[in-house]
């Protein structure tokens, strides 16, 4: 299968969130026609949560068979359960609690990373996440093939909790890893690896703001993943970058033409 890559530019982060939400519904409704189980990995960050809020506010929400979707997270902050800074708490507040309240999903569809008050160490939590991935995978597979992975991109081009120059980026043979001494607080985190993230049919990277401009330009230019982790993710069917005009301001003209 090809790994087609496209760039979509919106005038503002609000329009970006609305466009991604619309594309999400189009994809999910299409997948629901022929797939009994759909795996989606969510991201945190302000843009990622704004997208979930746009999905929540859409009039299409009742049209989708949410019971088919299994929710995962690309990474998580090693904080206590229900800490407002956890990615799962923010996703619940933006979308998932509404789906639960309307009985459109069950809690068993949400595969959260363990919290710091779970009684597990960070390393044990990573192993537990690996077991969850394995249990949801097909025969002889270590993790499911995600139908869609959402990713935010940091100003330093990190994705999930995979930061430039760290050992976790090139780690082979693992699906979920503990992250110590993160350059972005909190210092301890859990993350899917590039191997796990790249077991995705579609990867949508969402960026907004002038502080993301250099990261987007480098990712599109094919920089080394060890230095620009956002350049290392690739969906098996498509890799799609969504950016507002500010985030796309440093993309060279030749790349804009090439990406279409």
Whether the upstream peptide bond of residue 186 has omega within 30° of 0, thus cis, is yes
pTM greater than the 0.85 cutoff: yes
pLDDT of 1 over the 60 cut:
no
- In the numeric block, which tokens belong to residue 150? 């959402």
pLDDT of 2 over the 50 cut:
no
The arithmetic mean of pLDDT across residues 80-104, rounded, is 98
Q: How confident is the model at residue 259 (pLDDT cuts 50, 70, 90)?
A: low
Mention every residue, 6+ apart, whose C-beta is less than 8 A from residue 109.
Answer: 67, 69, 70, 71
How many C-alpha atoms does 53 have within 13 Å on its Cβ side? Answer: 15
pLDDT of 252 over the 90 cut:
no
According to DSSP, the residues that pair with 207 across neighbouring strands are 243
**Residues 153, 213: Cα–Cα separation, whole Å:** 10
Whether the Cβ atoms of residue 195 and residue 172 lie closer than 8 Å to each other? yes
pLDDT of 244 over the 90 cut:
yes
Q: Is 17 helix (H, G, I), strand (E, B) or coil?
A: helix
Domain ranges of the chain: 4-154+161-259
**Hey, what CATH class is 4-154+161-259 in?**
alpha beta
**Residues 109, 180: Cα–Cα separation, whole Å:** 28
The arithmetic mean of pLDDT across residues 65-90, rounded, is 98
- In the numeric block, which tokens belong to residue 61? 């929400």
Position 3 scores a pLDDT of 52
Cα dihedral across residues 38, 87, 164, 193: positive or negative: negative
- In the numeric block, which tokens belong to residue 118? 């779970």
């Amino acid at each position: 299968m090809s790994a087609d890559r496209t760039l979509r530019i919106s005038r503002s982060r609000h329009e970006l969130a609305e466009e991604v939400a619309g594309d999400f519904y189009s994809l999910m409704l299409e997948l629901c026609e022929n797939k009994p189980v759909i795996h989606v990995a969510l991201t945190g960050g302000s843009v990622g949560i704004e997208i979930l809020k746009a999905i929540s506010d859409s009039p299409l929400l009742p049209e989708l068979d949410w019971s088919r979707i299994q929710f995962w997270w690309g990474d998580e902050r090693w904080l206590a359960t229900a800490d407002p800074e956890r990615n799962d708490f923010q996703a619940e507040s933006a979308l998932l609690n509404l789906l639960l309240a309307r009985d459109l999903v069950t809690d068993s569809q949400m595969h959260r990373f363990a919290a710091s008050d779970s009684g597990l160490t960070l390393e044990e939590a990573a192993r537990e996440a690996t077991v969850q991935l394995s249990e949801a995978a097909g025969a002889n597979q270590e993790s499911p093939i995600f139908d869609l992975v959402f990713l935010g991109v940091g100003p330093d081009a990190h994705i999930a909790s995979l930061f430039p120059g760290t050992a976790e980026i090139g780690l082979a043979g693992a699906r979920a890893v503990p992250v110590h001494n993160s350059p972005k607080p909190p210092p301890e985190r859990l993350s899917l690896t590039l191997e796990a993230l790249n077991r995705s049919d579609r990867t949508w990277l969402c960026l907004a703001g002038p502080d993301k401009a250099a990261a987007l330009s480098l990712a599109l230019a094919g920089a080394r993943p060890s230095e620009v982790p956002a350049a290392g993710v690739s969906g098996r069917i498509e890799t799609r970058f969504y950016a507002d005009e500010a985030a796309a301001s440093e993309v060279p003209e030749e790349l804009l033409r090439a990406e279409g």
